[in-house]
Amino acid sequence: MKKIFFLLALLLLLFLGFKFYSWWRRVAWDKEGRINFVIQTKSVLVLSLILSEDKLLILSIPNGIDVEAIHGYGPYRIESVFKLGELEKRGGEFLQDSIQEFLGLPLDGYLVTDNDWEFKVEDKKKLVGKRQQTNLNHWDLVQLWWQMKKISDSKVTMIELEPGSTSWEIDEIIGQFFQDKKLTSEDLAIAVLNATERSGLAYRGAKLISNIGGRVVEVGGWEENKGNCELRGKKKYLKSYTAQKIKKIFDCQWGGEDLADHRADLVVILGEAYWRKLNEK
């Protein structure tokens, strides 16, 4: 009886430990890194925290701009994307992933506030308290509140996306203002490869990496089809900031050290799952 009780207690501890680890790891608050969130208020905002410098960059996307909603829903006014996600029971992740693809900017989470609340720089500390829906856990919210409290108004930069901006102009804004210094300092060579029959997938993935400062040296195809994303490279790169960032963006699994003669430090192999997220209802 005691042995059974001990085993049950051990299993419970292991389960709770796993849940705590998953809860704690929702967002990687690397003090030298950068974290991006999409915020749905009266309009849509992207908040980018530069943790090493205690700076905040805010990109405002005005209502009325059309974005391509993921899962093949086509163009929607940006203020309607979250509502569409709710109707289709896809939640705020639908907003997060749609804005991520529209901007070509990896996003770490989302917060939704009251539609009548208009975000102002001087009210940034109130953001966490105003949330009505989020995929951030309690630890992330505490960290976000603390970072907002630390950042003075003088260290906040506001940018507004102009209506009618072309994809090239958007890429220029993201590339100019959203470079991740820790990622660029690692300077790892990255190959992004398409392991499906769908054209353009590797290009879209490479854009998300290069826009934040990743050094993409190859965009091409993989010799066999894959269902899910794989990330390959030498083991010494497995725990790099760059590898962890890429794994989170594409939900990659570690695929080993066989690079199939591709000359890169890390090889990202995009599978059918990424295409389905973008195109399949």
Residue range 129-148, pLDDT digits in tens: 888 899 999 999 999 999 99
Between the alpha carbon of residue 34 and those of residues 119, 147, 184, 234, 247, the distances in Å are 21, 12, 12, 25, 16
pTM of the entire predicted model: 0.88
Whether 112 shows a pLDDT value over 70: the answer reads yes
210-244 pLDDT, tens digit each? 999 999 999 999 999 999 999 999 999 999 999 99
Ranking 15-29, 77-91, 217-231 by mean pLDDT, the lowest is: 15-29
Q: How many CB atoms lie within 10 A of CB 244?
A: 16
The CATH T-level fold of domain 181-279 is Alpha-Beta Plaits (3.30.70)
**Which residue ranges does the chain devote to CATH 3.30.420.590?**
34-177
The CA distance from 212 to 78, in Å, is 23
**Which residue ranges does the chain devote to CATH 3.30.70.2390?**
181-279
Q: Residues 87, 281, 249, 24: is their CA dihedral positive or negative? A: positive
The CA distance from 26 to 7, in Å, is 29
The CATH T-level fold of domain 34-177 is Nucleotidyltransferase; domain 5 (3.30.420)
